[in-house]
A and B are shown apart, each in its own frame.
Chain A
Amino acid sequence: MSKKTEYDVVIVGAGISGAIVANQLAEKGHSVLILEAGAKKDFSFETYREYLNTYYKNTVKIPNSPYPQNPNAPQPLVTDVGNIEDGIQQFNKDSYFKQLGPAPFQSTYTRAKGGTTLHWLGTCLRMLPSDFKEQDLFGIGKNWPISYYDLMKYYRMAEFEIGVSADVEEQDYLGLAFEEGYVFPMTKIPQSHLDKQLTKWTKNAVFSYEGETYSYDVVSTPQGRNSNPNPKYDGGKGYQPVGAVGNPDLGQRCEGNSACVPICPVQAKYNALKTLEKAVNNGVVINEQCVASQILYDDDTGDIKGITYKQYDDIDALTCGESPSYKEKTITAKRYVLAAHAVENAKLMLASGFKNKNIGQNLMDHPVLLTWGLAPEKIGSFRGPGSTSGIPSLRDGAFRKDRSAFRIEIGNWGWNWPAGSPNTELTDGLSENLFGKQLRQRLLDKVQREFRFGFLIEQQALSNNCVTIDDRYKDALGNHRPIINYNITDHEKEGMLAAKSFSEQFFETIKGENKTQYDSSKGGYIEYKGEALWWQGAGHLAGTHIMGTTKDNSVVDKDQRCHEHKNLFLVGCGNMPSMGTSNPTLTMAALSFWAAENIDKDLTELKN
């Protein structure tokens, strides 16, 4: 490619991180190109509706159900993890991941323009200040090279970009600090009737565990979905909610469609298409159907010399499995950014022969222990967003040296996650020969009392949990499939035991019925100290190219720049040395703003 059209920056990946970096740099006047692996999609609402229709027609409503599998850029699915047969975890044969265990890795992501924000729930919790230095405080995991206070400004930028709804006066727990006078862009999403009833039923009660007591405080969760703008935002300037891409009047407020995961029908929930559309209006170019396959670098200096990618032809869903046709191209730029996802970034660097030994290591997720039961009375399940509140009291404490912290998510959609309700309730009723009014009544009586907890267990960054590659495992385009090594530690299992105990005490306190029952044949089932436990993935993949102080303990420095490749920046959850108990998207977005600022400084110096 000729010099005169060389871009200032080439970014791999059009998800939330790539979108933020692209838009920020374009606003500063830099020329930016994004390479996106996913299928070609325009910004019209009609195109988005194709996703909706795919979701409606799909009988299995998993997180990736609206987003078709693409042989040129395959994605993992939650259904890839099969049952445990004769003590051996089974995996679907055509899974994208090659899993080596010993524990199943149960989380997924989406390889399409907009990335996994297309199917995220929208939870926007900041990490706790203590989460940034847990090695110092508790002797576990890894410290960050920056603190919560360094990140505050960028959290605010992320909360603006995503459009977070929360009431700040409820969020200052466990050391979380906000600037004097700060308010979120929008007021909190109304808490569900369930949340309110649980608050009432647990008033003055406490949870006791290993000699300590913890409150049952139900706190509304900050969310990236539109609610009423807060007139006090930005010193009284207020905030304008951002509606659907291609249909701006739609999605001005959350409508309670109760389909956030896998797809908000009106885009009241943020997705990265909103930022991408802005970026394109600011001059960013997105080359779609371009899968990066190799990063070229100078062995002596480490400088990146270009990115090779495979641009594939349009695919018809019906031709899946056939060998695709593509053109291989190489592109150069002044600066490079990998924003392809924690697993994809690591895979790409490994495939390019990068020498840093930390690449691929420290893979993290939040194993989610699920418990479920019936409330003593109808609590109006299946209304509103998937979760509107949580119980934060076990997110931090001295106990973290002995067992994992966890955040408790209160699920609004009955037993949908653990037991497939309400569909399963219907088949149960039918198998009891119920029909008509009787069937309806049974469904109403039962389903309306259902709720579940999700305990998001903190996981430490460990070298054994890792992404690797092997030339024997490749996809249709000849790119590597990720190989996953993954396990759960006793520290984390201790956290799960505490979570299970919490749930048991909770159901007693509210005089509900604990219906939690774990099936030993289901993936994620384990026994620990004689207790049955069952956990699922949270979709919070992080830590495959963590930031730190030297190339020996990390891949990127605190500026998000590779230690060994000075013109290459990495963004995304892969940079996080710990996640605490926060869903990582908000922190990732904040880090992306921070990275963009550093890239801008770097480019400005270069140009002068």
Chain B
Amino acid sequence: MSKTLESYKKQLHDNLQTAIELEHSTIPPYLAAYFTINQDTNTFSWNVIRSVFMEEMLHMTLACNIMNAVGGHPSIDNPKFIPEYPTKMEFADRKFDVGIIKFSKASIETFLEIEKPSEDKLMVRGEYAKNLMQPIKLKEKTIGEFYNTIKKQLVYLVDTYGEDKVFNGDKSLQITPKDYYGGGGEIVVVDNLDKALFAIDIIVDQGEGAAGTIDDGDDAYFGQDQEVAHYFRFNEIYLEQQYKPTDVPNKKPTGEKVDVNWDAVIDMVNNPKASDFPEGSPAREKAEEFNQLYSHFLRALHLAFNGQSSLIVKAIGMMYQMKYLAAELLNCQVPNSKQFAGPPFEYIMPEARKQYTWLIDELIADTKTQQN
């Protein structure tokens, strides 16, 4: 019996690892769109994209809490964790490129593909899936359906083996509201099936809309004002018109017009890579620096999600630093081009991280304090 449970758990852990990677992989493309517009000339879009990637960070953290709750361990600081942009995203019925590109109609189209809502009714308790999926490629049609598969697995395992056997993770690994705050909603500490399903509901509803509506559920979950889900928020930018609370998912929005300035955008090169820029150029220097910092950041997150939750505060500091570096990069004209450099989000192997070593020293120092 334990053998079967273990092998099922392994598959569940693989799926949750995919979920964590999936949540993370959307953030660099969203950030690229966000960094290339200005709060003053594209206020609406700027606010929408910001609110979405803040919620993606919540989703990633929620997925880590579920992983830790079922005895798995999130793996964040490894070369496979970051996709190489442009990456292919594959669902059951469609395949498309996701890249680090500037704010544009094309980038919003991609975001709509990512966040596309399910046409089927989700949330089926009691059913379970025997077909577990491969990482990266999703067999489902939407992210919501993918999470539904995880839900079914969880329910099946709990029904078959009992809650204690499935939710046997170390409780001290959970990220709590003490360390995670201000990022798109409140973190859920996961220690049983109900909490895990609730966490997944937050992820799915914020992305695709709650139970066949455009609403993201934040009013019910967090007592906030009503807000539409990611897909519909992106659609508001795309169609330059807001939804009304009475609007429905398969119809166009009928609310107020939205001011989108498609031209007030920094002309960043598509999918910037550090090696694209000539050695010695400011663009090259900053791009490499960004990658170094980003990789350290993943290390900090990895440690935070594996027992040192207070390191999230360090990671927040690094995010601010990355934001400033991205702004500097977008100020660097690419030599012999009219376009500008941008943040590459490339993984640097731990042994090759030469810059920001003091950050690592601080992490090590923190690790020691926590162990004492």
Contact = CB atoms under 8 A, between A and B. Distances in A.
A56 to B, nearest CB: 11
Interface string A237-257: 000010100001111110000
A229 B176 CA distance: 12
A46 B43 contact: yes
Contacts of A520: none
A228 interface: yes
B178 A228 contact: yes
B262 interface: no
Q: Give the residue among B43, B182, B185 with the most A Cβ atoms within 10 A.
A: B182
Contact of B181 (A46, A53, A241): A241
B299 to A, nearest CB: 22
Nearest to B317: A256
B224 interface: yes
Contact of B184 (A49, A228, A249): A249
A252 B43 contact: no
Contact of A251 (B43, B51, B182, B183): B182
A249 B178 contact: no
A250 B47 CA distance: 12
Contact of A248 (B178, B183, B224): B224
Nearest to A231: B178
B176 to A, nearest CB: 10
A252 B178 contact: no
B106 interface: no
Interface residues of A, number: 13
B16 to A, nearest CB: 25
B183 A249 contact: yes
Contacts of B54: 249
A299 B177 CA distance: 59
Contacts of B177: 229
A251 B51 CA distance: 14
Contact of B185 (A53, A241, A249, A253): A249
Contacts of B43: 46
Contacts, number: 22
Contacts of A253: 181-182
Q: Give the residue among B51, B177, B183 with the most A Cβ atoms within 10 A.
A: B177
Nearest to B222: A248
B182 A243 contact: yes
Contacts of A243: 182
Interface in B47-67: 51, 54
A53 B222 CA distance: 30
Interface in B156-207: 177-178, 181-185
Q: Is the interface of B mostly helix, strand, loop or mixed?
A: loop
Contacts of A229: 177
B314 to A, nearest CB: 13
Contacts of B181: 241, 252-253
A248 B54 CA distance: 13
Contacts of B178: 228
Interface residues of B, number: 14
B358 to A, nearest CB: 14
Interface string A14-57: 00000000000000000000000000000000100100010000
A354 B51 CA distance: 53
A186 to B, nearest CB: 11
Contacts of B183: 249
Contacts of A53: 40
A187 to B, nearest CB: 9
A285 B243 CA distance: 29
Contact of A249 (B39, B40, B182): B182
A251 B183 CA distance: 10
Interface string A287-327: 00000000000000000000000000000000000000000
A243 to B, nearest CB: 7
A15 B177 CA distance: 31
Interface in B30-45: 39-40, 43
Contacts of B185: 249
Contacts of A49: 39
A49 B46 CA distance: 13
A229 B177 CA distance: 9
Nearest to A46: B43
B33 to A, nearest CB: 19
Contacts of B182: 243, 249-253
Contacts of A250: 182
A266 to B, nearest CB: 8
Nearest to B39: A49
Nearest to B180: A252
Contacts of A249: 51, 54, 182-185, 224
Interface string B16-40: 0000000000000000000000011
A278 to B, nearest CB: 13
Nearest to B54: A249
Nearest to B182: A252
A253 B317 CA distance: 13
B236 to A, nearest CB: 16
Contacts of A228: 178
A251 to B, nearest CB: 7
A243 B222 CA distance: 13
B92 to A, nearest CB: 33
A182 B94 CA distance: 59
Contacts of A248: 222, 224
B201 to A, nearest CB: 19
Interface string A215-245: 0000000000000110000000000010100
Interface string A425-440: 0000000000000000
A241 B177 CA distance: 11
A559 to B, nearest CB: 36
Contacts of B40: 53
Nearest to A228: B178
Contacts of B184: 249
A516 B117 CA distance: 65
A253 B224 CA distance: 18
Nearest to A250: B182
A300 B43 CA distance: 58
Nearest to A49: B39
Contacts of B51: 249
Interface string A261-299: 000000000000000000000000000000000000000
Nearest to A268: B182
Contacts of B224: 248-249
A244 B241 CA distance: 26
A572 to B, nearest CB: 32
Interface in B212-256: 222, 224
Given A249-B51, A249-B183, 17 more contacts: A46-B43, A49-B39, A53-B40, A228-B178, A229-B177, A241-B181, A243-B182, A248-B224, A249-B54, A249-B182, A249-B185, A249-B224, A250-B182, A251-B182, A252-B181, A252-B182, A253-B182
Interface of B: 39-40, 43, 51, 54, 177-178, 181-185, 222, 224
The 3 closest A-B pairs by CB, nearest first: A252-B182, A252-B181, A228-B178
18 contacts: A46-B43, A49-B39, A53-B40, A229-B177, A241-B181, A243-B182, A248-B222, A248-B224, A249-B51, A249-B54, A249-B182, A249-B184, A249-B185, A249-B224, A250-B182, A251-B182, A252-B182, A253-B181
